[in-house]
């Protein structure tokens, strides 16, 4: 089975939670890009956003994704919600193996993250309206990047992981990767 994949989706869609469990079930390393970025930046994403702005953060995010895409071997990669905003990132995601879009409605996401102070793009007067705006902008980009769309509204994490495993078992190897899950030579 293909053991190299990346999870994309809105903030709060479950990428880290589902990704951690998926990696455990597959027996492969789990990489949370947000945690890696915070380690590399030496500060929280929110603090980096406040100090340097979104463009500088997106530059750092793109660099890390390119590094992750170039690394051989199996992994489950959990990305940040805005990773799909840049075309080069959507291309790099495909080098990470299968791309799975964990889709949740803005209303469902709001219920999950309404008390989370760590998400810089949601620190606004009306976070639900902001989520709806982000969803309208990003949903087409997630769909463009992903081979699979997994609805995360009602299923448990265990059920979502099982759904993903079934999709991966039935899927052919991604075009950008060889059967071993490493990037194909260019």
Average model confidence (pLDDT) across the chain? 87
Is residue 111 part of an annotated ligand binding site? no
138 is in an annotated binding site: yes
Q: How far apart are CA 16 and CA 102, in angstroms?
A: 11
Helix intervals (H) in the chain: 15-26, 33-41, 45-52, 54-70, 87-95, 106-113, 127-145, 157-170
CB 83 within 8 A of CB 33: yes
Q: How confident is the model at residue 183 (pLDDT cuts 50, 70, 90)?
A: very low
**13 annotated ligand binder:** yes
Supply the angle between the helices 87-95 and 54-70 in degrees, to the nearest 10.
20
C-alpha 45/C-alpha 82 separation (Å) is: 12
Of 20-34, 75-89, 111-125, which gets the smallest average pLDDT?
111-125
Determine if residue 42 is labeled as part of a ligand binding site: no
Angle at 43 between CA 38 and CA 48, to 5 degrees: 95
User: Where is 77: in which H helix or E strand?
Assistant: strand 75-78
Binding residue per annotation — 119?
yes
| 15 marked as part of a ligand binding site | yes
Q: pLDDT digits over 8-64, tens only?
A: 999 889 999 999 999 999 999 999 999 999 999 999 988 998 899 989 999 999 999
Quote the pTM value.
0.87
The reply to whether 34 sits in an annotated binding site is: yes
Burial class, 168, CB count within 10 angstroms (exposed 0-12 / middle 13-18 / buried 19+): buried
- 76 contacts 7 by C-beta, under 8 angstroms: yes
């Amino acid at each position: 089975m293909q053991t190299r994949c990346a999870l994309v989706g809105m903030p709060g869609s479950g990428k880290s939670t589902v990704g951690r469990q998926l990696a455990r079930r597959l027996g492969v390393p789990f990489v949370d890009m947000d945690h890696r970025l915070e380690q590399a930046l030496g500060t929280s994403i929110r603090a980096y956003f406040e100090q340097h702005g979104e463009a500088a953060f997106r530059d750092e995010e793109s660099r890390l994704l390119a590094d992750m895409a170039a690394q051989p071997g199996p992994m489950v990669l959990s990305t940040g919600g805005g990773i799909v905003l840049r075309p080069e990132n959507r291309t790099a995601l495909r080098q990470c193996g299968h791309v799975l879009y964990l889709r949740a409605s803005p209303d469902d996401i709001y219920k999950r993250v309404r008390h989370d102070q760590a998400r810089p793009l949601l620190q606004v007067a009306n976070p639900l309206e902001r989520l709806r705006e982000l969803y309208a902008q990003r949903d087409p980009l997630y769909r463009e990047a992903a081979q699979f769309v997994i609805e995360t509204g009602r299923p448990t994490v265990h059920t979502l992981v099982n759904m993903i495993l079934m999709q991966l078992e039935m899927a052919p190897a991604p075009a950008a990767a060889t059967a071993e899950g490493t990037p194909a030579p260019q």
